[in-house]
């Protein structure tokens, strides 16, 4: 079947849907497939301009990423115009064109909202779509990307590869796959260079990359209302963490997460870490077999180390990790003292649960006092720590030792709302603590991300 016509294109794999086509508002055919048996719909944007959903699926390393994420969600991948199996009869594609392509795919799943993953150059179109269509986007994940093209194109590696493109296109692809895309093994980088070569004509790739220089969605970031996660690879050298920090600080309520690896692609590097970042942010793990926790009401505590990213940048990996170990030692000691269960470490914080509200509040206060005691004996050039905490009580879902559900999400949102050295709790926690000698001060109500109504928040005086 000609690739420019809508219809189906059958793949060898039996575990994935055949390719379908969405028609854009300006009459362009956009190819996409889905993988997974349930869970929320997650649409991952193309690697602009080197997207080819068939060639990717045949690459075992890339397919492993989709299979891993597809255990928990329904993953959707599409080729933008001019790429892969989508309509090729275009000479270039603007930012608005890419938004139009994404909209055509999203509309196939309407009216239910979907989660968007904008990877590298597909980040700005995803952010702009989310800002314009809040009712269609449940979550937004911006993966190693930027808001202004001029900021990205200041990197020396970007310009160097652009010059190489003019002399040797195959070497440009292999170098790009190795140096920029992060495929360390020669065989892996060669295989991904094959994907890139099949994806797009060289002249179209040039034009699309040149157009990204003009992209600027910064003014739209403050309009994004979907819960947003900004992911940055710790060892990624040619996209500055400052670009991710700018996104996270401008989008209301956005979280910044740094994970291991040196590639801007989720599929290159530690796949389990990348998959956990996505599914953890969506509040899911594994297929939907979660059961109600057997312990009835639980008090869920989230802790978050304030300015963790800035600290790591200032101190460097070795010294920064040593400070983090101090924080971890203090936290785990407090949990052990008060019968708390560490659900998981979040890198710069913890999620824990308690069967008693008194134990949970005692632990939170003891942890703040422990951090305070640690800071009081620092040398003059030492790095002080500040931790913010949020607690909520409810009946979460439990699966394989992890906890899920709205009770958990609300605890996380309350922690994000707190300031350094603060302990904030929901009204449910405060009511369960009546008569238990704790002092509370009411804070201004706020509407957490993903919730339709404002919640009452109280500060624990410690």
Q: What is the CATH number of the domain that holds 368?
A: 3.30.70.1230
How many angstroms separate the CA atoms of 99 and 24, rounded?
10
CB atoms within 10 A of CB 437: 7
Give the chain's length: 462
The answer as to whether 87 is a domain residue is yes
Q: Is 422 in contact with 199 (CB distance < 8 Å)?
A: no
Most confident residue range from 251-255, 294-298, 382-386: 251-255
9: in domain: no
Contacts 24+ apart (CB under 8 A), 167-171: 169/202, 170/197
Query: Which range of residues forms the domain containing residue 144?
Result: 20-282
Q: Is residue 6 part of a domain?
A: no
Report the CATH number that the domain containing residue 136 is assigned in CATH. Answer: 3.40.50.1820
Last residue of a domain, one of 239, 261, 282: 282
Same domain, 31 and 147: yes
Q: How many CA atoms lie within 13 A of 416 on its CB side?
A: 20
> Does one domain contain both 248 and 323?
no
The yes-or-no verdict on residue 165 having pLDDT over 70 is: no
Is the CB of residue 461 less than 8 Å from the CB of residue 441?
yes
> Do 238 and 266 belong to one domain?
yes
Q: Which residues is 29 bridged to in the sheet? A: 23
Task: Give residue 290's pLDDT.
Answer: 38
274 and 326 housed in the same domain: no
**Per-residue confidence (pLDDT) for residue 170, from 0 to 100:** 66
Rounded to whole angstroms, how far apart are CA atoms 51 and 56? 8
Q: Of 75, 73, 135, 72, whose CA–CA distance to 103 is shortest?
A: 135
Residue 10 resides in a domain: no
Nearest to 144 by CA among 283, 257, 66, 312: 257
Does residue 353 register a pLDDT over 60? Answer: yes
Work out the pLDDT band at 8, boundaries 50, 70, 90: very low
Give the β-pairing of 74-78 and 29-35.
antiparallel
More confident call, 351 vs 169: 351
Among the candidates 252, 282, 312, a domain finishes at 282
Lowest mean pLDDT among 172-176, 218-222, 364-368: 172-176
Q: How far is CA 308 from the centre of its chain?
A: 17
Domain count, the chain: 2
Assigned domain for 3 exists: no
103 vs 276, more confident? 103
Cα–Cα distance list, 170 to 30, 41, 162, 195, 359 (Å): 27, 36, 13, 12, 62
| C-alpha to C-alpha distance for 270 and 307, rounded to whole angstroms | 25
Are 245 and 348 found together in one domain? no
User: Do the Cβ atoms of 78 and 22 come closer than 8 Å?
Assistant: yes
Domain final residue, candidates 242, 260, 282: 282
pLDDT at residue 293 in the model: 43
Q: Other CB atoms closer than 10 Å to residue 195's CB: what's the count?
A: 24
301 and 272 belong to one structural domain:
no
Backbone φ and ψ of 427, nearest 5°: -65, -30
Helix 241-250 vs helix 308-337: angle between axes, to the nearest 10 degrees?
70
| 246 shares its domain with 112 | yes
Please indicate, yes or no, whether residues 268 and 308 belong to a single structural domain of this protein: no
Among candidate residues 448, 408, 25, 43, the one with its CA nearest the CA of residue 253 = 448
Is residue 140 in a domain? yes
306 and 211 share a domain? no
256 and 347 fall within a common domain: no
Q: How many angstroms separate the CA atoms of 230 and 224, rounded? A: 13
Residues 231 and 180 in one domain: yes
Q: Does a structural domain hold residue 8?
A: no
Predicted pLDDT of residue 291: 41
pLDDT digits (tens, 9 = 90+) for 402-454: 788 888 889 999 998 999 899 999 999 999 998 888 999 988 888 888 777 88
Query: What are the tens digits of pLDDT across the range 21-54?
Result: 999 999 999 999 999 867 799 999 999 999 999 9
Largest CA distance in the chain: 76
So what's the pLDDT on residue 387?
Answer: 92
Residues 251 and 303 reside in one and the same domain: no
Return the residue matching tokens 């449910």: 428
**Domain-located, residue 222:** yes
CB 263 within 8 A of CB 182: yes
């Amino acid at each position: 079947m000609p690739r420019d016509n809508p219809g189906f294109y059958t793949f060898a794999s039996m575990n994935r849907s055949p390719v379908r086509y969405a028609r854009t508002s300006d009459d362009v055919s956009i190819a996409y497939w889905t993988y997974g048996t349930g869970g929320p719909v997650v649409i991952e944007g193309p690697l602009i301009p080197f997207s080819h959903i068939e060639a990717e699926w045949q690459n075992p390393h890339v397919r492993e990423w989709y299979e891993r994420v597809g255990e928990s969600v329904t993953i959707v991948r599409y080729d933008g115009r001019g790429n892969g199996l989508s309509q090729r009869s275009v000479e270039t594609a603007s930012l608005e064109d890419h938004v139009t392509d994404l909209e055509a795919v999203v509309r196939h799943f309407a009216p239910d909202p979907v989660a968007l993953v904008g990877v590298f150059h597909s980040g700005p179109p995803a952010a702009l779509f989310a800002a314009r269509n809040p009712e269609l986007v449940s979550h937004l994940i911006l993966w190693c990307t930027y808001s202004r093209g001029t900021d990205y194109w200041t990197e020396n590696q970007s310009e160097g590869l652009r010059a190489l493109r003019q002399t040797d296109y195959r070497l440009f692809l292999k170098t790009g796959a190795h140096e920029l895309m992060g495929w360390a093994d020669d065989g892996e980088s060669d295989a991904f260079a094959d994907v890139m070569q099949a994806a797009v004509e060289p002249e179209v790739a040039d034009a699309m990359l040149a157009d990204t220089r003009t992209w600027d969605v910064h003014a739209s970031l403050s309009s994004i209302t979907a819960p947003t996660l900004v992911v940055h690879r710790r060892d990624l050298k040619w996209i500055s963490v400052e670009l991710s920090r700018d996104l996270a600080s401008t989008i209301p309520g956005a979280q910044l997460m740094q994970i291991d690896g040196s590639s801007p692609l989720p599929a290159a590097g530690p796949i389990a870490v990348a998959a956990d970042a996505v599914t953890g942010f969506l509040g899911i793990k594994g297929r939907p077999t979660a059961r109600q926790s057997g312990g009835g009401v639980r008090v869920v505590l989230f802790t978050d180390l304030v300015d963790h990213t800035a600290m790591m940048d200032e101190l460097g990996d070795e010294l920064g990790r040593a400070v983090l170990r101090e924080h971890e030692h203090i936290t785990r000691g407090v949990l052990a003292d008060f019968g708390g269960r560490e659900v998981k470490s979040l890198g710069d914080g913890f999620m824990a649960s308690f069967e008693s509200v008194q134990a949970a509040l005692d632990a939170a206060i003891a942890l703040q006092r422990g951090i305070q005691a640690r800071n009081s004996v620092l040398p003059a050039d030492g790095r002080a720590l500040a931790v913010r905490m949020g607690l909520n009580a409810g009946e979460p879902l439990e699966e394989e030792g992890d906890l899920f559900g709205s009770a958990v999400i609300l605890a996380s949102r309350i922690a994000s709302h707190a300031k350094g050295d603060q302990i904030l709790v929901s009204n449910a926690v405060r009511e369960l603590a009546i008569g238990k000698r704790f002092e509370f001060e009411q804070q201004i109500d706020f509407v957490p991300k993903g919730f339709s109504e404002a919640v009452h928040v109280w500060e624990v005086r410690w």
